[in-house]
Amino acid sequence: MKKFILLSCLLLTAIAAQAQFEKGKWMINPSLSGFQLGYDTGSEKTSLNIQGTGGWFVADNLALTGYIGAQFSGVDVLQIGAGARYYFHQTGFFAGADIGVYNADDNTDFTLGLEGGYAFFLSRTITVEPGVYWNIHSDASQFGVKVGFGFYF
Protein backbone atom coordinates (compact mmCIF):
# COMPACT_ATOMS: atom_id res chain seq x y z
CA MET A 1 0.00 0.00 0.00
CA LYS A 2 2.87 2.38 0.80
CA LYS A 3 4.39 1.76 -2.64
CA PHE A 4 1.07 2.54 -4.30
CA ILE A 5 0.71 5.82 -2.40
CA LEU A 6 4.31 6.82 -3.19
CA LEU A 7 3.84 5.97 -6.87
CA SER A 8 0.60 7.98 -6.96
CA CYS A 9 2.31 11.02 -5.40
CA LEU A 10 5.18 10.84 -7.90
CA LEU A 11 2.73 10.56 -10.79
CA LEU A 12 0.74 13.60 -9.57
CA THR A 13 3.97 15.58 -9.19
CA ALA A 14 5.01 14.72 -12.76
CA ILE A 15 1.58 15.72 -14.10
CA ALA A 16 1.67 19.04 -12.22
CA ALA A 17 5.20 19.73 -13.44
CA GLN A 18 4.32 18.96 -17.05
CA ALA A 19 2.13 22.05 -17.45
CA GLN A 20 4.93 24.32 -16.26
CA PHE A 21 7.48 23.38 -18.94
CA GLU A 22 5.23 24.04 -21.96
CA LYS A 23 5.97 26.36 -24.86
CA GLY A 24 5.06 29.99 -24.09
CA LYS A 25 5.47 29.76 -20.28
CA TRP A 26 7.82 32.05 -18.33
CA MET A 27 10.13 31.34 -15.40
CA ILE A 28 12.01 33.46 -12.87
CA ASN A 29 14.71 31.86 -10.74
CA PRO A 30 16.39 34.08 -8.13
CA SER A 31 19.04 32.78 -5.76
CA LEU A 32 17.73 35.10 -3.08
CA SER A 33 19.66 34.14 0.01
CA GLY A 34 23.14 33.57 -1.35
CA PHE A 35 23.20 29.79 -1.12
CA GLN A 36 25.40 29.61 -4.20
CA LEU A 37 28.87 28.78 -2.92
CA GLY A 38 31.75 27.98 -5.20
CA TYR A 39 35.48 27.42 -5.36
CA ASP A 40 37.57 29.40 -7.86
CA THR A 41 40.62 27.52 -9.13
CA GLY A 42 42.38 30.79 -10.09
CA SER A 43 42.22 32.57 -6.74
CA GLU A 44 41.71 29.42 -4.62
CA LYS A 45 39.04 31.26 -2.62
CA THR A 46 35.49 30.41 -1.73
CA SER A 47 32.94 32.86 -3.06
CA LEU A 48 29.36 33.85 -2.37
CA ASN A 49 27.16 34.44 -5.44
CA ILE A 50 23.74 36.00 -5.81
CA GLN A 51 22.08 35.55 -9.16
CA GLY A 52 18.71 36.10 -10.83
CA THR A 53 17.70 34.10 -13.90
CA GLY A 54 14.69 34.54 -16.14
CA GLY A 55 13.55 32.44 -19.04
CA TRP A 56 10.94 31.83 -21.70
CA PHE A 57 9.98 28.38 -22.98
CA VAL A 58 10.41 28.47 -26.77
CA ALA A 59 9.43 24.80 -27.03
CA ASP A 60 8.15 22.20 -24.61
CA ASN A 61 10.91 21.53 -22.03
CA LEU A 62 13.34 24.08 -23.59
CA ALA A 63 13.79 27.57 -22.15
CA LEU A 64 16.00 30.40 -23.35
CA THR A 65 17.44 32.13 -20.29
CA GLY A 66 19.20 35.30 -19.26
CA TYR A 67 20.88 36.10 -15.97
CA ILE A 68 22.48 38.85 -13.94
CA GLY A 69 24.47 38.31 -10.78
CA ALA A 70 27.16 39.38 -8.37
CA GLN A 71 30.01 37.49 -6.71
CA PHE A 72 31.71 38.42 -3.46
CA SER A 73 35.11 36.87 -2.74
CA GLY A 74 37.46 39.70 -1.83
CA VAL A 75 37.11 40.91 -5.43
CA ASP A 76 33.61 42.00 -6.38
CA VAL A 77 32.43 40.60 -9.71
CA LEU A 78 29.38 41.55 -11.78
CA GLN A 79 28.03 38.97 -14.23
CA ILE A 80 25.53 39.00 -17.12
CA GLY A 81 24.77 36.34 -19.71
CA ALA A 82 22.35 34.25 -21.74
CA GLY A 83 21.82 30.56 -22.30
CA ALA A 84 19.36 27.70 -22.48
CA ARG A 85 17.92 25.15 -20.08
CA TYR A 86 16.38 21.78 -20.99
CA TYR A 87 14.00 19.87 -18.68
CA PHE A 88 14.13 16.09 -19.13
CA HIS A 89 10.89 14.18 -19.64
CA GLN A 90 8.74 16.59 -17.59
CA THR A 91 10.27 15.24 -14.38
CA GLY A 92 11.97 18.40 -13.17
CA PHE A 93 15.56 17.35 -13.88
CA PHE A 94 17.31 19.95 -15.99
CA ALA A 95 20.61 20.71 -17.70
CA GLY A 96 21.71 24.09 -18.95
CA ALA A 97 24.51 25.98 -20.64
CA ASP A 98 25.24 29.68 -20.93
CA ILE A 99 27.75 32.22 -22.13
CA GLY A 100 28.39 35.39 -20.23
CA VAL A 101 30.53 38.38 -19.48
CA TYR A 102 31.87 39.31 -16.08
CA ASN A 103 33.71 42.35 -14.80
CA ALA A 104 36.17 42.10 -11.91
CA ASP A 105 38.38 45.06 -10.95
CA ASP A 106 37.74 46.69 -14.34
CA ASN A 107 38.88 43.52 -16.14
CA THR A 108 36.25 42.04 -18.44
CA ASP A 109 36.26 38.36 -19.37
CA PHE A 110 33.94 35.85 -21.04
CA THR A 111 32.63 32.70 -19.38
CA LEU A 112 31.08 29.42 -20.43
CA GLY A 113 28.78 27.89 -17.82
CA LEU A 114 27.25 24.44 -17.40
CA GLU A 115 24.65 23.48 -14.82
CA GLY A 116 22.43 20.62 -13.78
CA GLY A 117 19.75 20.28 -11.13
CA TYR A 118 16.21 19.46 -10.16
CA ALA A 119 13.07 21.61 -9.94
CA PHE A 120 11.19 20.36 -6.87
CA PHE A 121 7.64 21.76 -7.00
CA LEU A 122 6.28 23.10 -3.71
CA SER A 123 3.10 24.21 -5.47
CA ARG A 124 1.93 24.48 -9.09
CA THR A 125 4.13 27.52 -9.74
CA ILE A 126 6.86 27.59 -7.04
CA THR A 127 9.94 25.37 -6.92
CA VAL A 128 13.10 24.86 -4.91
CA GLU A 129 15.93 24.21 -7.35
CA PRO A 130 19.17 22.70 -6.03
CA GLY A 131 21.90 22.30 -8.60
CA VAL A 132 25.57 22.08 -9.45
CA TYR A 133 27.45 24.39 -11.80
CA TRP A 134 30.79 24.84 -13.53
CA ASN A 135 31.89 28.18 -15.00
CA ILE A 136 34.95 28.25 -17.23
CA HIS A 137 36.92 31.51 -17.55
CA SER A 138 39.95 32.23 -19.73
CA ASP A 139 42.38 31.75 -16.83
CA ALA A 140 40.41 29.77 -14.22
CA SER A 141 37.24 27.81 -13.56
CA GLN A 142 34.66 27.89 -10.81
CA PHE A 143 32.51 25.01 -9.62
CA GLY A 144 30.03 24.61 -6.81
CA VAL A 145 26.49 24.00 -5.64
CA LYS A 146 23.57 26.41 -5.54
CA VAL A 147 19.98 26.58 -4.36
CA GLY A 148 17.40 28.85 -5.92
CA PHE A 149 13.68 29.37 -5.98
CA GLY A 150 11.75 29.09 -9.23
CA PHE A 151 8.51 30.81 -10.18
CA TYR A 152 6.74 29.46 -13.30
CA PHE A 153 4.02 31.45 -15.06
> pLDDT tens digits, residue range 72-112?
777 788 999 999 999 997 788 999 999 999 888 788 899 99
Contacts of 77 (CB under 8 A, 6+ apart): 70, 71, 102, 103, 104
Which CATH number goes with the domain that contains 19? 2.40.160.20
Please give the residue that has the higher pLDDT: either 123 or 48.
123
Q: What residues are paired with 55 via a beta bridge?
A: 27, 65
H/E element, 16: helix 2-18
Can you give the residue range of the structural domain that contains 120?
2-152
β-strands 93-104, 120-121 pairing: unpaired
